[in-house]
Amino acid sequence: MKTPQTGSQNTSPKRPQLIDLFSFVVAGQTFAVFAADVEGTADSKYVAALPNAPPAVLGVLCVRGRMLTALDPVALLTGERREWSGKVPCVVALCGDEQLALAAESFGSTITISEADIEAVNDDGLAGRTLAGILRYGGEEIRVLSTSSLFAAAFQHKERRRRRF
């Protein structure tokens, strides 16, 4: 006598998980973050520079009454400082306790894709720590940023504040 296998006959095949990505453009490259991680967007914000900040940190800016640390996505990947004027054309404010924002030159659109469409990145450097993966969509290569690792990548695991006696 055969024993019935529980759940094997009644379960449907696993459906692909659909996710929304919010895209934006910086230095001719298209980036995206998970839409659930975006708190809001803003146009044309002034940035107050921070002295001795890492290359990826542009400074602080105010979005909807919150002071956020503005990051340059290209510098997050390359580790090299880029010149921005004192005004950032577009800002993507992120959710979370780290109070981060991403600087952009223009906003893209919200894209709905299957989670399986994001290719893993095989890189142990800054890009590997910063990227959740690469998406090929509409003839473009979109770099999907991992918002949970942006702070560590920007500050490269260094203390933000150090007491000096």
- Residue ranges of the alpha helices (H) in 26-113? 73-78
Q: Which domains does the chain have, with CATH numbers?
A: 18-155 (2.40.50.180)
pLDDT tens digits along 122-136: 876 666 678 889 999
What is the pTM for the complete model shown?
0.81
Exposed/middle/buried for 83, CB within 10 Å: 0-12, 13-18, 19+?
A: exposed
Helix (H) or strand (E) holding 64: none
Contact 61, 103 (CB under 8 A): no
DSSP annotation of 152 reads H
Mean per-residue pLDDT, 135-147: 91
d(CA 16, CA 140) in angstroms, rounded, equals 22
